[in-house]
Amino acid sequence: MKKKEILVALAGNPNSGKTSLFNSIVGTHLKVGNYPGVTIEKTEGLLKYKDYKITFVDLPGTYSLSPYSPEEVITKDFIVKESPDVVLNVVDGTNLERNLYLTTQLMELGANMLIALNMYDEVLQQGTKIDFKQLQRILGCHVVPTSAVRKEGLTRLLEHIVKIYEQRIIISKNKLGYDPQESDPVALAENRYAFINGAVAETVEYLDKPIKTITDWVDALVINRLLGIPIFLLVMWVIFQLTFQLGEVPMGWIETGITGLSDLVSALLPESLLTSLLVDGVIAGAGGVLSFVPNILLLFLGISFLEATGYMSRAAFVVDKLMHKVGLHGKSFIPMLTGFGCSVPAFMACRTLKNPADRITTMLIIPFMSCGAKLPVHLLLISAFFPAHLAGNVLFAVYIFGILVALLSAFLFKKFLFKGESEPFVMELPPYRLPSLKYLFIQSWIKLQLYLKKAGTIILLVSVLIWGLTSFPGLPEDYSGEFSPIEYSLAGRLGKIIEPTIKPLGFDWKIGIALVTGIAAKEVVVSTLGTIYSLEDADLEDEEATALKDKLHRDPVFTIPTVLALLAFVLLYVPCLAASAVFHKEAGSIKYTCIYFVYTTGAAWLAAFFIQRLAALFF
């Protein structure tokens, strides 16, 4: 008797809608991008259907099973070694010829294959007709039309999976019009393409005059040789404006709530170390980071929208010419864009770059992208020292400055360290698709959950640690020195040691401590400053609880030149420990890791120094 568990592997090209179909079937919600390299590792989802427990495994998107990239290796190894009961091959119905190359390779492996002809609603809109019965006879497997977006054809897919598993559908394998055992790779590839061309010619009927789609109309504008980059900059500028303009009011509400909570705890509990820990450590530290949740959510929504519509692929395409001038190409811009969210997946996305010089160069410049963890620091400083109508512009300038430093660095690396020609850049531009609001909020909520989880773990722990370092040892009763209690503490003493190296940048020991702890996670810069300034205020009898940005505004150290220098330093210096560990693993060399640490920190120091000096001439 057969077991009631079915293992299904989803394979398909990037942009075929494979992960969207996976989400629609199992009800999980993962990142769905419109460019190769999003799904690096396999992801599982479980579904109970009738009497069966079906495990779906979403394999990395790949164009072939040739062992040239990690995606190809992962996909092929899973199918060969794990022997899934069914391989669900997701094929983009609007681009059948390209997608069928992977299909022929799956056929050669002898997989129990079922084809989901995805985006079939778009096939119909284009007026294309497909002879499914003939296509099934040629490919030797069943073909089910589906639409992941509209959730059409899903029940039929599940029914077919069960029938294949129960052997009620017999798979006719190896009905190929060529010899899959051909030893010459070139001849084998030619045979595959000849077979695909013949299969499409026999089964697909296109309109004589293709319908001009919305994608064609929009692309005529957004990937225009002259307008492409200005439009990209305009789109990003609008997102940053909305991040501040729409997020300002709820951010103020949260700040007021945190201040009120601090006052309430101080009033209810007697003065003690525990009260100080709660008020100055937990609430002022970790709690202060939460005030930026609305702004971060808005930015995540904006980036998710651009990814889901397919615009991010266009962004990589339009900057290709610019990237070539610095020795890279548009494909390197994809990990850089991913770096706006987090450096960890950005480093991993560099696996798609087959040229080692391009891959290492791209990894070395990713730290200059302003990731989501740096955003709270930028928001704190910008909201504290710039009026609301200028805040979005300043944030936009920070991001653009990071891109410019990255491009300059790439030019230097390719000129002196990693010489050689870049690989050719071929980029698929998927059709534009309007994502649902539900999808956008789910994607943004997933990213926000990671932020909140970090606030409740790493940031909380570091806040408590900083509270301890800034609270002990206390001043002796007979102390008559010039240090304040916080300067006398362990953190204060450590800060005084660091201070000479950062004083040329306009920074003091408090900023130095925040930058050091920020290596754990960039949000910790905010929580560290929150704890230090809360304890400093606690030493003053008449001080009332206020928002951190108001405390910074009162500190004479924080002038406009210093703030601009600090924005640049936080933007450029070495990313968090988790990202650094991934960099080392992906680079595979201690030499590159040393370059990574030295170059990012050195670039941050030099940029902050010159910005502080230049800004001092005007402010």
Q: Can you tell me the distance from the alpha carbon of 433 to that of 493, in angstroms, rounded to the nearest whole number? A: 56
Q: Are 280 and 188 in the same domain?
A: no
Q: Can you tell me the distance from the alpha carbon of 17 to that of 34, in angstroms, rounded to the nearest whole number? A: 9
Look at residue 421 in the predicted model and tell me its pLDDT.
66
Please indicate, yes or no, if residue 217 is contained in any of the structural domains: no
Residue with the larger pLDDT of the pair 476 and 369? 369
Dihedral over Cα of 211, 214, 217, 220: its sign: negative
Reduced 3-state DSSP string for 10-41: EEECCCCCHHHHHHHHHCCCCCCCCCCCCCCC
Show the domain range for 197.
Answer: 5-205
Residue with the larger pLDDT of the pair 61 and 152? 152
Residue where a domain terminates, one of 170, 205, 240 = 205
Checking if the pLDDT of 259 tops 50, the result is yes
Contact 258, 518 (CB under 8 A): no
**At 142, which CATH number?**
3.40.50.300
**93: helix, coil or strand?**
helix
Residue with the larger pLDDT of the pair 63 and 35? 63
Q: How many domains does the chain have?
A: 2
Checking if the pLDDT of 573 tops 90, the result is yes
Look at residue 174 in the predicted model and tell me its pLDDT.
47
Please indicate, yes or no, if residue 213 is contained in any of the structural domains: no
Average pLDDT over residues 25-36: 54
Element (H, E) at 204: strand 204-205
Average pLDDT of the chain? 87
Q: Are 294 and 406 in the same domain?
A: yes
Look at residue 9 in the predicted model and tell me its pLDDT.
94
Q: Are 407 and 535 in the same domain?
A: yes
pLDDT, tens only, 386-398? 998 899 999 999 9
Q: Are 123 and 247 in the same domain?
A: no
Checking if the pLDDT of 23 tops 90, the result is no
Look at residue 344 in the predicted model and tell me its pLDDT.
84
Average pLDDT over residues 163-169: 87
Please indicate, yes or no, if residue 214 is contained in any of the structural domains: no
Q: Are 252 and 133 in the same domain?
A: no
Most confident option among 109-113, 316-320, 438-442: 109-113
Please indicate, yes or no, if residue 524 is contained in any of the structural domains: yes
Look at residue 184 in the predicted model and tell me its pLDDT.
66
DSSP 8-state code for residue 58? E
The DSSP bridge pattern shows strands 204-205 and 129-130 to be antiparallel
Closest of 594, 507, 596, 492 to residue 558, by C-alpha: 507
Q: Are 271 and 178 in the same domain?
A: no
Look at residue 37 in the predicted model and tell me its pLDDT.
42
Element (H, E) at 5: strand 5-12
Q: Are 160 and 252 in the same domain?
A: no
Closest of 363, 358, 275, 288 to residue 323, by C-alpha: 358
Checking if the pLDDT of 87 tops 90, the result is yes
Confidence of residue 380 (pLDDT cuts 50, 70, 90): very high
Q: Are 555 and 450 in the same domain?
A: yes
Checking if the pLDDT of 162 tops 80, the result is yes
Checking if the pLDDT of 34 tops 70, the result is no
pLDDT, tens only, 276-296? 999 999 999 888 888 889 998
Look at residue 444 in the predicted model and tell me its pLDDT.
81
Q: Are 139 and 253 in the same domain?
A: no
Look at residue 401 in the predicted model and tell me its pLDDT.
97
Look at residue 595 in the predicted model and tell me its pLDDT.
96
Please indicate, yes or no, if residue 600 is contained in any of the structural domains: yes
pTM of this prediction?
A: 0.79
Contact 91, 17 (CB under 8 A): no
Q: Are 175 and 280 in the same domain?
A: no
Look at residue 456 in the predicted model and tell me its pLDDT.
84
* CA atoms within 13 Å, Cβ hemisphere of 58: 27
Please indicate, yes or no, if residue 427 is contained in any of the structural domains: no
Q: Can you tell me the distance from the alpha carbon of 247 to that of 252, in angstroms, rounded to the nearest whole number? A: 9
Q: Are 197 and 236 in the same domain?
A: no
Measured in degrees and rounded to the nearest 5, phi and psi for residue 572 equal -100, -25
Look at residue 172 in the predicted model and tell me its pLDDT.
56
Checking if the pLDDT of 425 tops 70, the result is no
Task: Cite the beta strand spans of 31-162 per DSSP E.
Answer: 43-49, 52-58, 86-92, 113-118, 129-130, 143-145
Q: Give the rounded percent of residues in the chain with a pLDDT score beyond 90.
A: 47
Residue with the larger pLDDT of the pair 122 and 605? 605
Average pLDDT over residues 260-275: 91
Look at residue 36 in the predicted model and tell me its pLDDT.
39
Please indicate, yes or no, if residue 216 is contained in any of the structural domains: no
Look at residue 5 in the predicted model and tell me its pLDDT.
92
Q: Are 409 and 505 in the same domain?
A: yes
Please indicate, yes or no, if residue 215 is contained in any of the structural domains: no
